[in-house]
Structure 1
Amino acid sequence: MAEPGSPSPPAEGPLVCQDPEKASSPPGKQRKPRLRRRRLRLGTSRQPTFATYFPKVLKEIHAGLSLSKEAKAVMDCFVRDLFERIADEAASLVRNKRGSTLTYRDIQSGIRLVLPTQLYKYADSQGNKALIKFISSK
């Protein structure tokens, strides 16, 4: 048994972001693995990741730091989850008003509903600043 304060053993295999509803399946049912017809290339993933952006942002905040693969995987899961929550909330707002177009205001309202007050205010100001910078660069 590990003593308190001693480092925990490293996790086995790569960290994969899972949907909480799909993560645990009933013990009685097991699916057959599908046969893949196409050969997958090594080193490519089917799902795009946000991992390429983390070093760029980290360089602006702390110049000499870097992230491990596990940290990138955790951050990627976190960003995906947050993005999905905001998108779901914004989509439900559009459905409630019987609209068919997702606008900036719907996304802003979704962010307001998902994030705590101080974090929303900071995200809103940073978003507006990025939008102004983008418009002025054109």
Structure 2
Amino acid sequence: MAEPGSPSPAEEPLVCQDPEKASSPNGKEEKPRPRHRRHRRRRRSRLGTSQQPTFAIYFPKVLKEVHAGLSLSKEAKAVLDCFVRDLFERIADEAANLVRNKKGSTLTYRDIQSGIRLVLPSQLYKYADSQANKALIKFISSK
């Protein structure tokens, strides 16, 4: 039996042991882990450093149709990409506002068409609308 002044085994204070010196719970001693760690190689993303998809792959294709012998510099592609993103955001915001105003939950072709009409000037809207209709007919006929 324990002496009256000494703490009983259940009341002994818990002391944290150094993990390297402590034995494993299953009784077997484990080998110490090596201190160096292997670094995993990070895969490069296909999207580049910005981690956002760009429209840059489409610019040479369109430019080839309009002006066959010309090309674009990186700076020109960056400016065009910024312009296209901005225009896309403006049109999408207007179309989303139209959907919210009519208390709908689905963005339709007519909402986008109305958003384009609100964002672009009249002549540019007419040209964009005719090109969109032409692309839509081409898409439907290819099915």
> What TM-score does the superposition give when structure 2 sets the normalisation length?
0.67
Greater Rg over alpha carbons, structure:
2
In the other structure, the counterpart of 2:87 is 82
SS in 1 for 2:106: coil
In the other structure, the counterpart of 2:53 is 48
| 1:42 CA drift (Å) | 7.2
Sequence identity, in percent?
87
Which protein has greater RCO, CA pairs closer than 8 Å, 6+ apart?
A: 1
| 1:39 CA drift (Å) | 4.9
The one of 116, 121, 129 equivalent to 1:116 is: 121
- Look up the equivalent residue of 1:83 and give its one-letter code: F
1:93-135 per-residue CA deviation (whole Å, 9 max, x = no partner) reads 0000000000000000000000000000000000000000111
Structure 1 stretch displaced more, 40-49 or 99-108: 40-49
| 1:41 CA drift (Å) | 2.5
1:53-99 per-residue CA deviation (whole Å, 9 max, x = no partner) reads 00000000000000000000000000000000000000000000000
- Look up the equivalent residue of 2:78 and give its one-letter code: A
List 4+ stretches of structure 1 deviating above 4 A: none
Count of matched residue positions in the alignment of Structure 1 and Structure 2: 101
In the other structure, the counterpart of 2:63 is 58
In the other structure, the counterpart of 2:104 is 99
The gaps in structure 2 that reach 5 residues or longer are 1-40
Check 1:42–1:127 CA distance in 2 against 1; reply closer, same or farther (3 A cut): closer
SS in 2 for 1:49: coil
Measure the CA separation in 2 of the matches of 1:42 and 1:95.
36
1:25-54 per-residue CA deviation (whole Å, 9 max, x = no partner) reads xxxxxxxxxxxxx95727723100000000
Measure the CA separation in 2 of the matches of 1:81 and 1:131.
23
Measure the CA separation in 1 of the matches of 2:109 and 2:123.
20
> What TM-score does the superposition give when structure 1 sets the normalisation length?
0.70
The gaps in structure 1 that reach 5 residues or longer are 1-37
